[in-house]
Amino acid sequence: MIEAKFGKELPGFELEINIALTEGILAVVGPSGAGKTTLLQCVAGLQKPSWGEIRIGGRLVFSSREAKNIPARERRIGYLFQDYALFPHLTVEKNVLYGKPKGDDRRAKRLSLAEVLRMLGIEHLKNRYPGQISGGEKQRVALARALMTAPELLLLDEPLSALDPETRSALQRELRRLQLEWQIPFILVTHDLREAEFLGDQVIRINRGRQEELAICRPAFP
């Protein structure tokens, strides 16, 4: 569950966000520079909003009124960055394990390394390095690393933009399946309105920081 109502001053305009999502996928579309990545980074705790409140799983993580700003590493969020941000000198297995938090948090619905690798079909790649796998495989490895954090919320910044149409549509279906299995909210940024409509239970457009709701028209044969 994520509830966020906040503003953030950006060069030349203000980003204003008001979202609430219990589970399912919130898809965010909008032109380049509109504020989509800034929205994700504010939710993740990597940037600080100018004002407002953010709650994740019922827990207040940011409040300008209470001067509260819980650091990113304590927010229990999985973040799939635009460029995947894999460590080139670590194997696939070590990259995925990097997502596993230190210590034992009994609240977390934790998956084992083997389960995550199997779920994403990348067991056979575990001893390779990021330079030895394809773009679609890198995307799966980055997703596996994000899932190892046992997140309460998954943020995906244009996760499929670098992929060929076939891999892209396979991974779109996989993301839907994972969301149903995990039952946590996903916020997914994409440039592609069709992708937003296929994946999103809610779709918003951000244009120079202004948020608009979009009606969903699901394609009959995605």
Ligand X SMILES: Nc1ncnc2c1ncn2[C@@H]1O[C@H](COP(=O)(O)OP(=O)(O)OP(=O)(O)O)[C@@H](O)[C@H]1O
Taking the C-alpha atoms of residue 117 and residue 144, their distance in angstroms, rounded to an integer, is 7
- Binds ligand X (CB under 6 A): choice among 33, 57, 101, 135: 33
User: Within 144-173, which residues bind ligand X (CB under 6 A)?
Assistant: none
122 in contact with ligand X (CB under 6 A)? no
**Comparison of 11 and 103: residue with beta carbon closer to ligand X:** 11
- Binds ligand X (CB under 6 A): choice among 34, 44, 96, 150: 34
**Comparison of 35 and 78: residue with beta carbon closer to ligand X:** 35
Near ligand X by CB under 6 A, which window of 28-36, 119-127, 139-147, 161-169? 28-36
Distances (CA, A) of 22 to 13, 49, 114, 183, 200: 29, 22, 29, 9, 13
Spatial contact of 168 and 152, defined as CB atoms under 8 Å apart: no
48 three-class SS: coil
- Binds ligand X (CB under 6 A): choice among 1, 5, 7, 10: 10
**Comparison of 95 and 190: residue with beta carbon closer to ligand X:** 190
State the DSSP code for 81.
Answer: -
- Binds ligand X (CB under 6 A): choice among 17, 25, 29, 35: 35
131 in contact with ligand X (CB under 6 A)? no
185 in contact with ligand X (CB under 6 A)? no
What is the rounded radius of gyration, in angstroms, for the C-alpha atoms of the chain? 17
- Binds ligand X (CB under 6 A): choice among 21, 37, 145, 198: 37
49 in contact with ligand X (CB under 6 A)? no
86 three-class SS: coil
- Binds ligand X (CB under 6 A): choice among 36, 76, 126, 205: 36
**Comparison of 34 and 163: residue with beta carbon closer to ligand X:** 34
- Binds ligand X (CB under 6 A): choice among 38, 149, 172, 179: 38
Using CB under 6 A, count the residues that bind ligand X.
10
**Comparison of 83 and 115: residue with beta carbon closer to ligand X:** 83
- Dihedral sign for Cα 208, 199, 26, 77, please: negative
What is the smallest separation between the CB atom of 37 and ligand X, expressed in angstroms? 3
CA 162 to chain CA centroid, nearest Å = 16
Spatial contact of 133 and 125, defined as CB atoms under 8 Å apart: yes
Helices assigned H by DSSP within the chain: 36-44, 92-97, 113-119, 135-147, 165-182, 193-199
**Residue 78 host element (H or E):** strand 77-80
Binding residues for ligand X, per CB under 6 A?
10-11, 30, 32-38
